[in-house]
A and B are shown apart, each in its own frame.
Chain A
Amino acid sequence: MRLSLSRSAAIACFSAISLAAGLSSVSTATLCAADAKAPAKVDYAGNLARVPATDPAVKDAPALSPAVVGKHPRLLFTDAEIEKLKTAIASDPLLKEASDASIAVAKRAKPGKERPLGIFLNDTPALAGSNGSTVQLAYAYALTKDAAILANIKEWLTVLLEQEHWADTAELDSNMGAACNMLMAGALYDAAYNELEPEFRARFAAKLLLHARRMHYLGHKQLSLMPIKYWQQDPQPNHRWYRARGLAACVLPIADEAGLDTAYLRAELKKEMDFLIKWYPHDGDCHEGAGYQVFGFRSLVDASGMMDRCMGTSYLKAPGFANAWAQQMYYWLPGRGSNIGFGDDMNGSAPFGYDEAAFFISPAISRDKNVQAGLMRRYKMKAVRKDGRPYVPTWALMAYYDPTVGEGDYKALPLHRLFADLSAATMRDSWETDSVVFTFKCGPYGGFGLNHYRQTVNPDGKQQYINVAHDDPDANSFALGKGEHFIFHPGFYSFRKLTSLNNTVIVDGKGQKNEGSDYTQPIPGIDMRTISYLTGWKPAADKSGRVIIEGETGAAYINGLTRFRRTAAWMPSEYVLLLDDIRAPEPREITWLAAAERAKFEKPEEGLCYAYTKKGGRVDFQMLATRPLDGAIDYCFMDGRFGSALIHQFQFTARSDAVKYACLIDAWGKKPRMTLTEAGDVVTLVVKSEAFTDTWTWTPAKDNTTPSTLECKRAGATLISLTEKDKAPLGD
Chain B
Amino acid sequence: MSISLSLIRRPLPCAVALAALALFAAWAGPAVVGTAHAFRVVKDVNSGKPWQQEVVIFEKGKPHDHLELVDANESAQFSYAEDGALVIRITGSKAIKPTIRWKPGGPGNLPESFDAKAFTAVVITGKLTGAAKVTHPNGKVMDNRPDNLWFGPSLVNHKGERVGYSNLADATEDEKTPTETTTMVLPTMLFHALSTNDASAIKGILWPWDATRANTSRDFTLVIDKIAFVK
Q: Is the interface of B mostly helix, strand, loop or mixed?
A: loop
Compute how far the CA of A623 lies from the CA of B33 in the bound complex, rounded to whole angstroms: 10
8 Å CB contact of A623 from B39, B43, B150, B175 = B39
In residues 7-40 of chain B, which contact A (Cβ within 8 Å)? 8-11, 29-31, 33-40
8 Å CB contact of B31 from A7, A606, A636 = A606
Any chain B CB within 8 A of the CB of A681?
yes
Contact B36 A678 (CB under 8 A): yes
Contact B36 A624 (CB under 8 A): yes
The stretch from A256-264, A371-379, A558-566, A595-603 touching chain B is A595-603
Any chain B CB within 8 A of the CB of A677?
yes
Give, as a whole number of angstroms, the nearest-CB distance from B58 to chain A.
23
- Residue in B closest to A636 when the chains form the complex, CB atoms: B189
Q: A1-B175, A624-B33, A680-B10 are in contact. Are A656 and B40 (CB under 8 A)?
A: no
Contact B37 A625 (CB under 8 A): yes
The stretch from B64-72, B190-198, B199-207 touching chain A is B190-198
Contacts of A607 in B (CB 8 A): 30, 33, 38-39
Contact A629 B37 (CB under 8 A): yes
Any chain B CB within 8 A of the CB of A217?
no
8 Å CB contact of B11 from A606, A635, A653, A680 = A680
Contacts of A676 in B (CB 8 A): 33-36
Give, as a whole number of angstroms, the nearest-CB distance from A210 to chain B.
42
**Count of CB-CB pairs between chains A and B under 8 Å:** 144
Most buried by A among B2, B36, B46, B167: B36
Contact A675 B10 (CB under 8 A): no
Contacts of B3 in A (CB 8 A): 628
Contacts of A625 in B (CB 8 A): 36-37, 39
Compute how far the CA of A2 lies from the CA of B11 in the bound complex, rounded to whole angstroms: 51
Any chain A CB within 8 A of the CB of B214?
no
- Residue in B closest to A662 when the chains form the complex, CB atoms: B36
8 Å CB contact of A10 from B31, B38, B42, B165 = B165
Any chain A CB within 8 A of the CB of B141?
no
Contact A680 B9 (CB under 8 A): yes
Any chain B CB within 8 A of the CB of A701?
no
Contacts of B82 in A (CB 8 A): none
Mark interface residues in A600-637 (1 if CB within 8 Å of B CB, else 0): 11001111100000000000000111111111111111
Any chain A CB within 8 A of the CB of B153?
no
Give, as a whole number of angstroms, the nearest-CB distance from B98 to chain A.
19
Give, as a whole number of angstroms, the nearest-CB distance from B183 to chain A.
15
Contacts of B83 in A (CB 8 A): none
Compute how far the CA of A627 lies from the CA of B30 in the bound complex, rounded to whole angstroms: 10
Contacts of B44 in A (CB 8 A): 601, 632-633
Give, as a whole number of angstroms, the nearest-CB distance from A465 to chain B.
26
Any chain B CB within 8 A of the CB of A3?
yes
Contacts of B6 in A (CB 8 A): 656, 658
Compute how far the CA of A6 lies from the CA of B170 in the bound complex, rounded to whole angstroms: 12
Compute how far the CA of A629 lies from the CA of B175 in the bound complex, rounded to whole angstroms: 35
CB-based closest 6 A-B pairs = A676-B36, A631-B39, A607-B38, A629-B39, A632-B43, A675-B34
Told that A626-B37, A629-B38, A631-B42 touch, could you supply 7 new A-B pairs with CB distance under 8 A? A3-B170, A624-B38, A628-B4, A637-B194, A658-B6, A676-B33, A678-B35
Q: Which residues of B contact A (CB under 8 A)?
A: 2-6, 8-11, 29-31, 33-47, 120-121, 148, 150, 165, 167, 170-171, 175, 187, 189-190, 193-194, 196
